[in-house]
Structure 1
Amino acid sequence: MGLEVESRPSDSPYIERVWRSRSDGVDQMMAVAAARWDLVFWEHRGQVSVAVVGPETKAGHAPVPEESMFFGISFSIGTSMPHLPVNRLVDDVAEIPDATRRSFWLKGSSWRLPDYDNAEAFVRRMVREDVLALDPVVAAVLRGATPDVSERTLQRRFVAATGLTRGAIRQIDRARQAAVLIQGGTPVHEVIHLLGYFDQPHLARSLTRYVGRTATQLLGHRDPQKPLSLLYKA
């Protein structure tokens, strides 16, 4: 009973993570803040739905349809669909209408529903048909490179490609990493040192805002009635 989640990394530069889940006896979850956007497919009582879920700047409660199956592609930072700008989807969801068990419409074309095992092939088609783009400057910065553009230009490109500033992305990703470490048994004082928090109150504020749990709650018994959304070691 609860929310069963499985995920895997990808070798595609456009994909951060591929995931799937099933709900059973749970109607709400804590959606953890995320700097990336997702394309999500789910089936509930025979009805298939598709939506683009934008970046989320803080944790919050989210409904979970009873006994539903979900599949999603979490896209890498800097990846976007130019016809549906991600900076308009921050803390928002855009539903894609007229989905069936076999197909859905995207940018005027019919697309077969992807699944957990063929997500990369689906994304390759998105790239071929200019539905998906990756900002090379943003991608280079995230790899540690120093591009030959001004700081102002760089910030503008980050916001255009991600909907968020670099600072916001760092804060969200750091809190997510802290939660993974704490759940894995890393002592709180080590997490503070490893991730550059000032002190324990600083970490506590970050976890509360971005994860919706305190360190004590992350270490304690997990509530199957209100589980966390996808968290993983980067």
Structure 2
Amino acid sequence: MGIEFDDRTSESPYIERVWRSRSDGVDRMTSIATAHWTLVAWRAGTAWRVAAQGPESGATTARVPTETEFVGIRLSLGTTFEPMPTGRLVDGGAEFADVSRHSVRIFGHTVPLLGYDDAEDLVRRMARAGVVVRDPLVRDVLGGWLPDVTDRTVRRHFARVTGLTPGAVRQIERARTAAALIRTGAPIADVAHDLGYYDQPHLARSLDRFIGHTATALRDGTSGQLSLLYKT
């Protein structure tokens, strides 16, 4: 069977995507790179667990617990968990120990357990408590705005907020877009050209690093189970 994802967009400036899934008959998947922070809850049986996951700088193989239900909130670029040491949690995460059937304690604040339909209410409460913070400079710079500071200052700012450099964020987002387009049947040569890769070998190296599969495998559906991938 594998993992079936449901996902939706959000009008909240703090949220990029809300998703849910259930594992069935698969014990491994490719976790593709992402520049976003994620709050995720999962349940096997009756016990819920909750963790914050940092950005992932490259594709990895992740273990998938069987018959497990997941709910996740992928935060928007530039939105982070304020008390966390961002740089040390790239390619990692932190689990919250105080979890009940209906609530979780996050950095001293007890909030309802996250759900697919009420993610916005949860994040709004966390933002009011100062647990979730949003830095609009990250989104503005990625959108092409040039602040009146040096490139070095921008890089330091990005590293503090996202744990990544602006270049790394752009490379990850471009590779994810390329993979999503290829999976929908877009010609590989056109994807490479339209997204600004030098040539198809350049695209191939990017996909290998950030997605963990070749363009051919993505196109033919032989890449196996991937973590959440969608058109931006």
TM-score normalised to structure 2 length = 0.96
Tell me what 1:32 maps to: 32
1:118 aligns with 118
Counterpart CA distance in 1 for 2:231 and 2:79 is: 20
Please say if residues 25 and 66 of structure 1, whose CA atoms lie closer than 8 Å, have aligned partners that are also in contact. yes
The 3-state SS of whatever aligns with 2:57 is: coil
User: Is the CA contact (8 Å cut-off) linking 1:40 and 1:70 kept in structure 2?
Assistant: yes
Distance apart, 1:65 and its partner CA: 0.7
Equivalent positions of 1:1-234 (< 5 A) are 1-222=1-222, 226-234=224-232
Q: Which runs of 5+ in 1 are unaligned?
A: none
Q: Which amino acid aligns with 1:216?
A: T
Contact kept? 1:182, 1:191, Cα under 8 Å: yes
Opposite residue 206 of structure 1, the aligned amino acid is S
Letter in 2 for 1:212: G
Instruction: Give the % identical residues.
Output: 53
Q: Using CA pairs under 8 Å that are at least 6 residues apart, name the structure with larger relative contact order, 1 or 2.
A: 1
CA shift, 1:222, in A, is 4.0
The code of the aligned residue for 2:9 comes to: P
Letter in 2 for 1:232: Y
Kindly provide the CA deviation profile for residues 62-84 of structure 1, in whole angstroms up to 9, marking residues without a partner as x: 01110000000001111111211
SS at 1:127's partner residue? helix
1:203 Cα shift? 0.8
> Deviating runs (4+, > 6 A) in structure 1?
none
AA aligned opposite 2:166: R
- Is the contact made by 1:37 and 1:86 (CA closer than 8 Å) also made in structure 2? no
Deviation at 1:26, TM superposition (A): 0.8
- Whole-angstrom distance in 2 between the partners of 1:144 and 1:13: 18
How many positions carry a matched residue from both structures?
232
How far apart in 1 are the matches of 2:221 and 2:39? 31
Describe the SS at the equivalent of 2:110: strand
CA distance, structure 1, for counterparts of residue 22 and residue 144 of structure 2: 36
> Whole-Å Cα distance in 1 between the matches of residues 143 and 175 of structure 2?
20
SS of corresponding position for 1:145: coil
The answer to whether the Cα contact below 8 Å between 2:183 and 2:221 also exists between their aligned partners in 1 is no
RMSD between superposed Cα atoms in Å: 1.2
Q: Once the 2 structures are TM-superposed, how far is the Cα of residue 192 of structure 1 from its aligned partner?
A: 0.9
Deviates more, 1:179-188 or 1:95-104: 95-104
Could you list the per-position Cα deviations for residues 114-134 of structure 1 after superposition, in whole angstroms to 9, with x for gaps in the alignment? 211111111111111111111
Preserved CA contact (<8 Å) 2:142 2:166: no
Q: Distance in 2 between matches of 1:19 and 1:93?
A: 18
CA distance in 1, matches of 2:69, 2:222: 21
